[in-house]
Amino acid sequence: MRGARVGVSGAILALALSACSGTPGYLVFDRPQTEKDALGPEFDVVDTSHLLPETVRYETTYDGIDLYLARTREGHFCLALASSWTAMTSCGGPGGPFGVSGPLGAFQVYPAPVPEEDGWLVLTDNIRVELPREKYVTTPGPAATPSP
């Protein structure tokens, strides 16, 4: 009986510690930062002073666009995007979701899991991108009628 109590107590303690150590819905922040997480020189033209450098995490590259998640001092979540020709950041509230739309496309950030929806491609546990219409429309629309 004593062994069972120790096992249950240990499991409760482990659960409590894991809940305190992570960022609910954003497991990317639970992993150690690596060299790949550093924002590149593309961000030199963008104000990133609101981002806590130690929280920046590279997430993925989509269609030539590097995507990073980061936090602010106020606890907000931010998405940083960079291509070979531009960079931008967008931040949302402490829990999300939030989105950004601009020359690099339309992206949304959610606490995991990201909702799956027609017209959107889930890129990571926290990020999805809106697909161009021609990539997700599967039935043809009405045929165009030339004007007389």
Q: What is the pLDDT of residues 15-55, one digit of tens each?
A: 333 333 467 899 999 999 999 999 999 999 999 999 999 99
Mean pLDDT of 76-89: 93
Residue 47 lies in a domain: yes
Residue 121 lies in a domain: yes
Check pLDDT > 90 for residue 71: yes
User: Quick check: pTM over 0.85?
Assistant: no
Check pLDDT > 80 for residue 141: no
Is residue 128 very low, low, confident or very high in pLDDT (cuts 50, 70, 90)?
A: very high
Name the domain count of the chain: 1
| pLDDT score at 132 | 81
pLDDT digits (tens, 9 = 90+) for 104-124: 899 999 999 999 999 999 999
Residue 109 lies in a domain: yes
| pLDDT score at 120 | 95
Range of the domain at 86: 25-135
Contact 115, 127 (CB under 8 A): no
Residue 15 lies in a domain: no
Residue 141 lies in a domain: no
Residue 3 lies in a domain: no
| pLDDT score at 9 | 38
